[in-house]
Structures are given as structure tokens and as C-alpha cells.
Structure 1
Amino acid sequence: MTHAIRFHRTGGPEVLEWEEVPLPAPGPGEVQIRHHAVGLNFIDTYHRSGLYPLSLPSGLGLEAAGVVEAVGEGVAELKAGDRVAYTSGPLGAYAEARNIEARHLVWLPEAISFEQGAAMMLQGLTAHYLLHSTYQVKAGETILVHAAAGGVGSILVQWAKLLGATVIGTVGNDDKAAKARALGCDHVIVYSRERFAERVRELTGGTGVAAVYDSVGRDTFLDSISCLQRRGMMVSFGNATGPVSPFDCGLLARSGSVYVTRPALFDYIGTREELESRSAALFELVAAGKLHVAVNQRYALKDAAKAHLDLEARLTTGSTVLMP
């Protein structure tokens, strides 16, 4: 037996329960992993609330890092004692230990801690595909990153600067503004007192930005489009304030023949080759100290409800981990 967070109905953080669950031996193609740290992400709140429907009762969580304890039949690439991390597969990372198919795991280098591994897989791989595949940011371009002091945002800012971009970031308060500047933002907009669309136009001399990376959703979507330069790219990859409302596609033409896309990580790590190559790029930069993953909050795994409350109240910055 082991312990895990599960929920039997959708709703607020109060639906999360700490339960004892069975842990059988790993089956064919599976690995049993003992978690040392579990990642907390906004998508977890979408699953919990029912925004992203799933069958109940259910586990929760998509990423974690730990040590292999046993392997099932047919698993040759991993062995007991290996340090591993993951951010795909069935929900269930909010657990002390679990079984998961070996194909979802990557080796975690010794230079990277379990906390970093758990904190950066989903957010770091998201930043990689957003900057390198969804819209390939080039040196000299200007981009806008919403929630620049948040988990994905903090990595996006650093990585975009490594690519030679000028980065405008939005945040909700002065403390987060200071964090965004420290990460490398060239300009920071505190949206609680500034109209970010107008400010972006001012900062770019009226031209607009090449791309907007928006994890906020409903509250920023239309104004984000108005920040784009001609044929710019609006990348909507999250729903922190709720899903985007339907809109007239003619708006895209009127805004300068701009593009809108709604990507998802799992379409960018859908093959083993993609997962390994993106993970390798992320690990290399983190291990070299060129990309810093700040684990700013830690909660006991059994206190996941409190972590969700703080995340949704915008009380967190950088990455958050749950400790089994």
C-alpha cells in the first residue's frame, strides 16, 4: 500500500483527499517509482475543477521525480536505483509511489535535484516547444510573456533572453515585477495598474510584438491580440482566468492578419524522440547554470489542497513542489 491524493467529485481544493491505495508489482512495460518530489501545475486545477473532464474517482498530477524501485517484464532500459523524472502518462503523480509505463520516463542527471526535476519537466518542456516549435523566436525580436514571474513564465523569460529576444513581461504586483526583472525581462508591466496593450504599443513604437505567450486565458486574450505586429503569433496555452470566449475570426484580419494557436505539450512530446530531445535541451541548460528553475514553494503532499488554494490565489511565484 501507499498514499495518494485522489478526488471523487470535481470542485474546489476541498475535494482533494489523502487516501491509502494499493501498489501492486509493476506490470509488463511498467516501472515502479518512489517519488521524491511532485510538481504542482495549473493544469492540475483544471482536472480537479472539471474544466478538463475525466472519469472519477481519479488521481491527480502529471509530473514527478524519484527513484526506480522495480521494473516489470520487458523493461530493459531502466533498473532499480535509477533517478528518473516524467511529465506525461495517466494522472497520478500526487502519490508517494506509483507504477507508470517506462516510455514516459527520462533519466534525471545527477547535477539536477529531484525538486528541480519535478518542478521543471512540464514547465520547462512547455517553454521549449513554445519558443522553438510553436513560434520560433529569433534574436532581435520582441515578445510578450504574461505571468512572467510564474512557473512557465519564469522559464520562458530566461530562455527567450538566451535566444536574443527582447522580452516584455506582465505581472500582478510590484514584488512579482522585481522577480521578472531579475529573470531578465527588459520591460515589466504591472497589469493591475497599467493597460498592458497600450503600454506594449508604447514600448514598441506602435509596431507591436512578434509573439504573445499567454497562459492567462479569458481576461487577456483580446488585448493580447491587439499587442501583435502584422502577421504576429498569439500563443494561448493556458486558462488561469477561465477558457477563452468565442470570437469573430475576422478580428485576426483586422489586427494585421495575425495568427492564433492553442497548443498543448503532449502534442509536442508525442514520440520518444521528441521527449528525449526536448528533455536533453532543458537538462543541459539547467545543469550548466544557464537556466534557473526556482522552487519557491514547498508543501507536504498531503497538504495539496492548501497548495491549490495558494496557486489559484496568485500567491506563488516560480515553481512549486509537493513533498511526499
Structure 2
Amino acid sequence: MSRAVRIRQPGGPDELVVDDVEVGQPGPGEIRIRHHAVGLNFIDVYHRTGLYPLAMPAGIGMEAAGVVEAVGDGVTHLKAGDRAAYASQPPGAYCEVRVMPAKTVCKLPDAIDFETGAAMMLKGLTAQYLLKRTQPQGGLKEGDHVLFHAAAGGVGLIACQWAKAMGLQLIGTAGTDEKCALAKSLGATHVINYNQEDFLPKVKEITGGRGVKVVYDSVGKDTWDKSLDCLSPFGLMASFGNASGPVPPFAPGILGAKGSLYVTRQTLFTHIATREATQQMADDLFAAVTSGQVKIRIDQRYPLEQVREAHRDLEARKTTGCTILTL
């Protein structure tokens, strides 16, 4: 048996219920893993509210770290006793023990503890595919400006550090002076408190009127229009979340009028669709963390039983860095 968070219908944090569930043996291509810590991400809110629909009742949670207890037929990259971490479909990480597909589970280097492993996988792999795989025409070069919204969040703080290591000039936005200072301390070249000043003219000022080569945006509706105007000609709008709500439909013709812009909507799970791609991206992330180029900040810890409070704080934008559930 395992304690596990379940949702029976879409809704608010009160729909999150801790139940005892039975855990079976892994089938072909699966493992059973006992978690030591679980990561919290905004995609979990989308699953809970129904923005990203799940078949109910459902588990929830997309990343965790722990020890492999058993492996099914055909699993060759893991064995019982291995330390491991993952960001993976299907949801269900908010639990003590689970059976799950092995494809996107990676061995966790000994130099990385379980809490860090649980906090870093989904957010770190997201930062990896954004900065390394989601690039504007001609790529990104040292000195290039990029705009990163929610720069003091879990993905944002990793991106600030990684962008600095790549020689990029990252302009980060956040909602308080404290969050801006945090992003600046971890590598953002410039920061903008969007509650105190309009980020569009500030970006134009910072870039000498040229705009940025790429905008990385997990906020969605509230930042979309001005973000397009922050781009230089042939710039890339890379949307990867909807924290303020989904982006409304728009006429493609505006992209021409604003400078022959490119738009993409990215998801991590397209990038980690194969075992080979997952391992390649994870190796890049593990190297960045073990070298010290990227430090994983865990600013909030909640026991599994306080999962409702964790979701309320996340939605209220009270959190910074990474958040984990402890077991």
C-alpha cells in the first residue's frame, strides 16, 4: 500500500485527497519506485483544474526521485536498488510508491541528493529544451538578449543561471522587488518588476530599441501581446505555459506586421518522447548541476498531507524557486 494524492473531479485545491492505494508489480517496460521526495509544478495545477483534462479519478504530479524497487521485462537501463529521478507521463508522482513507465526515468548521480533530484527534473529539463533546443532563426550567440517571464520561478531561476553560463543577456520579469533581486542574484542580466513598470518599453530601452531574439513565456494570456512587441524582426515567441490563462486565438497576419515573427508552443513531453533523447537532455542537466553552473534552489517544503496548502501558495504566486513534497 502507498499513500497517494488523488483527484476525483476537476476543481480547487480541496479536490486533492490523500488515500491509501494498492501498488502492484511492474509490467513490461515498467518499474516500481519508492519516492524520497516529489516535485511540485504548475502543470499539476492545470491537471487539477481540468485545463489539461485527465480521466477521473486520477493521480497527480509529474516528477520525483527515489529508489527503484523492481523492474519489469525489457528494462535494461535500471535495476533494483538504483537511485533514480524522473519527469514523466502519466501523472501520479504525489505518492510514496508507484509503478510507472521506465522510459523517462534516469539514474540519479550520487553527487545529487534526492530532494534536489525531485526538484530539478521537470523544471531543469524544461530549461534545457528552451535554451538549447528552442532557439530563434540563426540560433543564440554570446551576448544575445532573451526575455524570460516568471524569472524567479522554478524554471526561471534555472534558466537565469544556465543563460549566464551560455553568455546570454537574460532579461527577467517577476512580480515583486524581492523576486527580481533573486533572479538578478542568480544570473539575470536585467530584471523588471512588471507590477511597477511596463516591461515592453523597458525591454526596448535595454536593447537599444532592437528588441530580443526570443521570448520564453510560461505566463500566457497576460503577457502575450506585449511579448510579441518585444521581439526583433524574425524573433521567436516560445510559449510553454498558461499561468495567467490560455492565450486567446489570434490572426497569423499580425506576425508579419510585427516583423515576420515565429511562434511556437512547446511541451517537455515531446522532447523526452524517446529514451535516448531523455537521457541526452538529463546528462546535460546533471552536468550543469554537478559542475556548479546551475544550483537548484528549494525554497518551499511541504509534507504530502499539506498538498492543498502547497497548491494554494503556488497559485497565489507566493513561491520562489522549486517546491517539493516530503514523505
| Equivalent position of 1:45 in the other structure | 45
Hey, what's the Cα distance between the residues in 1 that align with 2:100 and 2:53?
21
| Equivalent position of 1:251 in the other structure | 254
Question: Could you tell me how far 1:47 is from its partner in structure 2?
Answer: 0.4
Question: Could you tell me how far 1:44 is from its partner in structure 2?
Answer: 0.4
Question: Could you tell me how far 1:228 is from its partner in structure 2?
Answer: 0.3
| Equivalent position of 1:220 in the other structure | 223
TM-score, normalised with respect to structure 1: 0.98
* 1:72-111 aligned within 5 A: 72-111=72-111
SS of 2:283's equivalent in the other structure is helix
Matched, 1:183 2:186: yes
Hey, what's the Cα distance between the residues in 2 that align with 1:91 and 1:238?
17
| Equivalent position of 2:56 in the other structure | 56
Equivalent pairs, count: 324
SS of 1:112's equivalent in the other structure is coil
Hey, what's the Cα distance between the residues in 1 that align with 2:140 and 2:324?
29
Percent of residue pairs identical:
56
Matched, 1:6 2:9: no
* 1:123-134 aligned within 5 A: 123-134=123-134
Contact 1:167 1:185 (C-alpha < 8 Å) held by counterparts: yes
| Equivalent position of 1:138 in the other structure | 141
Contact 1:125 1:279 (C-alpha < 8 Å) held by counterparts: yes
Structure 2: gaps (5+ residues): none
Contact 2:119 2:324 (C-alpha < 8 Å) held by counterparts: yes
Hey, what's the Cα distance between the residues in 1 that align with 2:303 and 2:182?
25
Contact 1:201 1:227 (C-alpha < 8 Å) held by counterparts: yes
Question: Could you tell me how far 1:235 is from its partner in structure 2?
Answer: 0.6
| Equivalent position of 2:34 in the other structure | 34
* 1:193-232 aligned within 5 A: 193-232=196-235
Question: Could you tell me how far 1:77 is from its partner in structure 2?
Answer: 3.1
Structure 1: gaps (5+ residues): none
Give the superposed CA RMSD: 1.0
Question: Could you tell me how far 1:86 is from its partner in structure 2?
Answer: 0.9
Question: Could you tell me how far 1:91 is from its partner in structure 2?
Answer: 1.0
Hey, what's the Cα distance between the residues in 1 that align with 2:129 and 2:264?
13
Hey, what's the Cα distance between the residues in 2 that align with 1:84 and 1:220?
36
Contact 1:63 1:121 (C-alpha < 8 Å) held by counterparts: yes
The one-character-per-residue Cα deviations of 1:142-200 (angstroms, maximum 9, x if unpaired) are 00010111011111111111111111110100110110110111111000010001110
| Equivalent position of 1:273 in the other structure | 276
* 1:141-156 aligned within 5 A: 141-156=144-159
Contact 2:104 2:272 (C-alpha < 8 Å) held by counterparts: no
SS of 2:196's equivalent in the other structure is coil
| Equivalent position of 2:161 in the other structure | 158
SS of 2:197's equivalent in the other structure is coil
Hey, what's the Cα distance between the residues in 1 that align with 2:252 and 2:262?
10
